[in-house]
Structure 1
Amino acid sequence: MSNIHSTAACVIQRGERFLMVEEERGGPQSVFNQPAGHVEPGEGPVQAIVREVMEETAWEIRLSAYLGLYVFHTPEGKTFHSHGFMAEPLNQRDLALDPDIFATHWLTLEQIRALDQQSRLRSPLVLQRVEDALAGRCYPLAVIRE
């Protein structure tokens, strides 16, 4: 079994706030992340992130840019290749959320940084993706060929 996991995550911004999910991770406190998840067999990262955003937030989105490939190594020896995306929120549907998701939140950059200080972000990539999106460090979606 490979220790490399292909995932996708999406920075979704509305005004000065970012769509975040609060999820259970088996610890004493919940953690916060962008909508994100594994790229499933038969999918590419574009298909995966549109599906994951719908499952975790019930939001329909329009992808606007590719933030790039983030490589993250866990202390347990796993490696994640995480595709970062930016998107605009279009419409929230009335759907049940993934059972691991407690709630969705629209948070400011300051609130996300405060959660980082409290070690409440799922990984260091969460804040990095937001900062990259705000700095305009992104690429056209056409760089991904699915």
Structure 2
Amino acid sequence: MVLHMDGDRVECVGALVYDDEHRLLLVQRANEPGRGLWSLPGGRVEPGEDDSTALTREVAEETGLAVEVGSLVGEVERDAPGGRLYVIRDYEAVPVGGVLTAGDDASAAKFVSREEFENLPTTTLLASTLAQWNALPG
């Protein structure tokens, strides 16, 4: 077991965004870690930001969509480069504007059905975590 000091924690947020058909918004990662894999939109919480501000910014940067942030769904920890630890808090979010288009750290962005989700290469533990949270697409 690796012990992490507080300075080694990288605070991150992720968004669970669904459309009217309960398809889930995913982005294809353009950069490491997980380049080419599909994941929830999100990223690091920058200094001075709260989770809601960071999530709104990240979703807009990666997908072009404006969202209203809802309640916390869950928190996960993932190993980060250099022995650090990503602490990722995932929130429900509702699209309220914008146009879906891949940007920033995403090479693609789309809403996916359960069948599409199951056939995409997704980031480590995404499928099992969403299943545990009862948050898989419809």
What TM-score do the two structures reach when normalised by structure 2? 0.77
| Cα separation, partners in 2 of 1:38 and 1:128, compared to 1, 3 Å | same
| Cα separation, partners in 2 of 1:64 and 1:122, compared to 1, 3 Å | same
Partner of 2:125: 124
* 2:17 pairs with 1:16: no
Match of 1:81 among 80, 87, 108: 87
Sequence identity (%): 23
* 2:61 pairs with 1:60: no
Whether contact under 8 Å (1:33, 1:122) holds in the other structure is yes
Kindly report which structure 2 residues correspond to 1:30-41, keeping only aligned pairs within 5 A, or say none: 30-41=36-47
| Cα separation, partners in 2 of 1:7 and 1:42, compared to 1, 3 Å | same
In the aligned structure 1, how far is the partner of 2:67 from the partner of 2:124?
23
In the aligned structure 2, how far is the partner of 1:79 from the partner of 1:9?
15
Could you list the runs of 5+ residues in structure 1 that have no partner in the other structure? Answer: 136-146
* 2:105 pairs with 1:104: no
Computed over aligned residues only, the root mean square deviation of the Cα atoms, in angstroms, reads 3.0
**How many angstroms does 1:60 deviate by?**
0.9
SS of match in other structure, 1:112: helix
* 2:46 pairs with 1:5: no
